[in-house]
Chain A
Amino acid sequence: MKNLLKKIPFPIALIIPIELVMMFLLIFPLIVEIWVSLTNWTPLLGTNWWHAKFVWLKNYYQIIFTDRRFVMAVLRTILIATSCVVVELGLGLLYGLLFVRDFKGKRIFVSLLLLPMMIIPLVAGYNFFMLFIENGPINQVIGWIVGRQVTLHWLSDPTLGLITIMVADIWEWTPLMFLILMAGLTSVPQNQVRAAVSLGARNFQIFRFLTIPLMKPIILIAVVIRGMELFKIFDLVFILTRGGPGTTTETISFYLYSAGFSYMRMGYIAAGAFIVLAIFLTASYYILKPVVKEIA
């Protein structure tokens, strides 16, 4: 046995634990899901999933071409994901710039600004619910600014509902972007900067032509990681608007959840999940392509 073990090349030996975990945890459910997505399985028919009738690609066809609700959910999720990523990136950059220099109390301020990330999303959700209901403090503050009483329906209006969800997410995850970008900003090689200064470059030019290009890889990875999580956004939608009013603030995960647990259409949502996977794989591949060499 020990001889056999010795014969396994070292790199492969390192990979074995992760392969075991992935196989056990990810591959089996994935295979089941692929199978199920090709059937019309629902527990309501009383059969087990391996007995369900095969409908081949019908689920995929239906969900892409006839299910307007799914398509809208995908578009909406893309909208939320892109908007949030852009804002989080922008804010993170802004914060990073503000924190590049040292000053008194920097460490405390950094700790405070990191807090939103550390709170349990469920609790954050309920918190924002209390803040944004019609008789909550947000409307109150707006009323003070505007001068008269204001009752905006933050949680039950199609547009405002989306905004509320996005605000909640931005609040919670900007700290992550902030950290990543701050690290990037502080790691710009000093000799290059000095060279640029000595050539007469101004602050803004340094920023635009030196700093940003150097940070491109990090920015892209941060975008992919954050975008990935945003694509699956669920908790906030559930607590704040429940996808309402109607279906106007539904995201992909929320629709899959409704269709899966309320309507029990397990086969259908398995197809939907794979479509989501395909969309995201393609998107992230193209986003990461320019920097793939440096990362992988």
Chain B
Amino acid sequence: MRKAPYGEDTRLAKTLRYLAIVFITLVTMFPFFWMISTSFKPVKEWTPPKPVWVAHNPTMYNYLTVFLGPGRAKGGWWASDEGVRDVAEKEGAKVSLTGESSIFVPFMTSLFVCSCATFLSISIGTLAAYSISRYKFGGNFFSFFILSARMFPPIAVVIPLVVMFSAFRLLDSYLGVIIVYTGFTIPFSVWMIKSFLDDVPHELEEAAVIDGMTNFQAILKVTIPLAKGGIAATSLFIFILNWSEFLIAFLLTSTRVMTVPILISRYFSTTLGHMYGPQAALGTIATIPVIIFGFIIQKHLVRGLTFGAIKK
């Protein structure tokens, strides 16, 4: 076979590569496919004796549960025809069920909380990253110190955190969750953004300062736009981390604030145990915002995660 010069592939190599990619993609997509398939399965087909790949009796009931909340969903779950709320209302009056458990409010809450936390984390992180990048603040020690914040098992920090938040009346509040999410993701934003800033030559800022800008304006108007791609990439990563977080949010909230992961943990019923169908349905829906962001930022994402050690 003719040996290809570096930079080109033989037909065979191309085909093999294509097959490999398709195979890998299929295997990787399999759990995803299973999740989507499960979201259409009725109760009997979640863990049946013989696995059901595609629902024999597909139903929209899981999605209905997600949108209406388990309390309102009629039939199927409780093996009777009425959801809890209907029974309650039949008994004669309004029942106040806090945290109604339909998807809308938690979805909006998650979006709001995660966006704010991501924004704060990136902003604060950028400032610190700038200081480390340009002024070598703190040497190795400070950088490591920040990174070490992520090394501590969160289980151990949770109780003092709850005590502290309770003293400041931050429990079960949007602000409390935002603060925690910000703090927990700052190490990532500092480390990642610092490396992008390293790639931006600091002569440009000095030139801007000479031209009359203050230091701060120079950062804002010169440096950040140049590192825009990497910052966008970091934002996505941090957003994903916040979006998926469960334990801290669960312990810090009770009635007023509910995020999507907490809602997922609520899909549990007396007669069925874990409700895999609605969980899969909500899981599928919850992936959509992240996928959208990821697709938009994909170009930057590729560039972004190189930590600056690569020079063109």
Contacts and interface: CB of A to CB of B under 8 A. Distances in A.
Interface of A: 10-12, 14-15, 17-18, 21-22, 24-26, 28-30, 32-33, 36, 95, 98-99, 101, 103, 107, 109-124, 126-128, 130-131, 133, 135-137, 140, 171, 174, 176, 179-180, 182-184, 186-189, 193, 197, 203, 206, 214-215, 217-218, 221, 228-229, 231-232, 234-235, 252-253, 256-257, 260-261, 266, 269-270, 272-273, 276-277, 280-281, 284-285, 291-292, 294-296
A119 B36 CA distance: 12
Contacts, number: 262
B183 interface: yes
Contacts of B130: 14
A18, A22, A133, A260 — most chain B CB neighbours (10 Å)? A18
Interface residues of B, number: 99
B186 A179 contact: no
Given A15-B131, A123-B264, A131-B34, A235 B306 contact: no
A130 B277 CA distance: 11
Contacts of A188: 310
Contact of B139 (A30, A280, A296): A296
30 contacts: A10-B216, A17-B128, A28-B160, A29-B164, A98-B17, A101-B9, A116-B31, A118-B240, A119-B287, A120-B260, A120-B287, A122-B264, A123-B264, A126-B283, A130-B34, A135-B51, A140-B50, A174-B28, A206-B6, A217-B307, A218-B307, A232-B153, A260-B159, A272-B156, A276-B152, A277-B148, A280-B148, A280-B151, A281-B151, A295-B307
A183 B307 CA distance: 10
A214 B312 CA distance: 11
Contacts of A117: 240
Contact of B279 (A21, A126, A184, A217): A126
A103 B283 CA distance: 31
A256 B25 contact: no
A10 B214 CA distance: 10
Contacts of A281: 144, 148, 151
Contact of A136 (B51, B149, B156): B51
Interface string B157-184: 1011101100000000000000110111
Contacts of B221: none
Contacts of B276: 126, 130
A168 B9 CA distance: 34
B154 interface: yes
Given A21-B183, A273-B157, A296-B144, 15 more contacts: A11-B135, A11-B137, A12-B131, A12-B137, A17-B127, A115-B32, A122-B246, A137-B34, A215-B310, A256-B153, A256-B155, A256-B156, A273-B155, A276-B152, A296-B139
Contacts of A140: 50-51
Contacts of A136: 47, 51
B161 A29 contact: yes
A118 B48 CA distance: 28
B21 interface: yes
B44 interface: no
B53 A137 contact: yes
A254 to B, nearest CB: 9
Nearest to B162: A29
A174 B27 CA distance: 13
A127 B277 CA distance: 10
Contacts of A285: 144
A interface SS class: helix
B269 interface: no
A112 B159 CA distance: 39
Given A107-B298, A135-B50, A218 B309 contact: yes
B152 A277 contact: yes
A186, A187, A193, A197 — most chain B CB neighbours (10 Å)? A187
Contact of B35 (A113, A123, A197): A123
B183 A14 contact: no
Nearest to B8: A101
Contacts of B302: 179, 182-183, 186
B157 A33 contact: yes
Contacts of B51: 135-137, 140
B202 to A, nearest CB: 13
Contact of A15 (B128, B147, B291): B128
A287 to B, nearest CB: 12
A11 B279 CA distance: 47
Contacts of A11: 131, 134-135, 137
A249 to B, nearest CB: 17
